[in-house]
Amino acid sequence: MARIHARRKGKSGSKYPVERKEHPDWSSLNPREVESHVIELAKQGKSTSEIGLILRDQFAVPDVRLATGKSISKILEVNNMKSEIPEDLRNLISTALQLRKHIETNNKDLKSKRNLQLTESKIRRLTNYYHKQNRLPDDWKYSLEKAKIMFE
């Protein structure tokens, strides 16, 4: 029985052209309005993923990059509102803190101890990556004390 393999559109070396998406007509906001909403939500303390969800659900903006030509993080960077620590690293640190708190009360929970090891390993790898990309200061290093201060 012969199998037919479908190729992904836009993949390098493929015979199919790259599809360029456009901002949909049913979304009534112009790029400046979208950027002002992004800045306003960032001032309220929302993370980039929360901003994207709010814009999608409340303002009918399916994709900020299609609407403005820039990502949410680029918009925040241009307006000097970018956070010091990237959001994915911040979420992993928060998870590690929650696991440590759980382990303090449930000392024999071996699965949680293993999950904490895995999470802290991800934090270290991601920190190394962000150091190489110059998105974190060279002197920044993950430690439990810094993490507790950061999330208090």
Asked if residues 68 and 74 have their Cβ atoms less than 8 Å apart, the reply is: no
Residue with tokens 């199919």: 16
Q: Which comes out higher in pLDDT, residue 1 or 49? A: 49
Residues belonging to the chain: 152
Measured CA to CA, the distance from residue 53 to residue 63 in angstroms comes to 10
Residues 100 and 144 in one domain: yes
Residue 5 has pLDDT above 70, yes or no: no
Backbone angles phi, psi at 6, to 5 degrees: -85, 140
Model confidence at 16, pLDDT cuts 50, 70, 90, reads: low
Q: Output the pLDDT for position 68.
A: 87
Q: Which residues contact 119 (CB under 8 A, 6 or more apart)?
A: 92, 95, 96, 99
Residue 33 has pLDDT above 60, yes or no: yes
Residues 58 and 94 in one domain: no
Residues 61 and 103 in one domain: no
Q: Output the pLDDT for position 117.
A: 97
Measured in whole angstroms, how far is the alpha carbon of residue 30 from the centre of its chain? 24
Asked if residues 28 and 60 have their Cβ atoms less than 8 Å apart, the reply is: yes
Range of the domain at 126: 87-150
Q: Is the residue at 5 inside a domain?
A: no
Residues 91 and 146 in one domain: yes
Model confidence at 20, pLDDT cuts 50, 70, 90, reads: low
Measured CA to CA, the distance from residue 57 to residue 151 in angstroms comes to 28
CA angle 10, 14, 15 (to 5 degrees): 105
pLDDT digits (tens, 9 = 90+) for 62-119: 888 888 889 999 999 999 998 888 999 999 999 999 999 999 999 999 999 999 999 9
Q: Output the pLDDT for position 18.
A: 59
Q: Is the residue at 118 inside a domain?
A: yes
Q: Output the pLDDT for position 83.
A: 85
Total domains, the chain: 2
Q: Which residues contact 16 (CB under 8 A, 6 or more apart)?
A: 7, 9, 10
pLDDT digits (tens, 9 = 90+) for 113-130: 999 999 999 999 999 999
Q: Output the pLDDT for position 103.
A: 97
Residues 93 and 61 in one domain: no
Q: Output the pLDDT for position 84.
A: 85
**How crowded is residue 85: how many other Cβ atoms within 10 Å of its Cβ?**
17
Q: Would you state the structure tokens that stand for residue 7, as one six-digit string?
A: 């190729």
Residue 142 has pLDDT above 80, yes or no: yes
Measured CA to CA, the distance from residue 41 to residue 48 in angstroms comes to 9
pTM above 0.75, yes or no: no
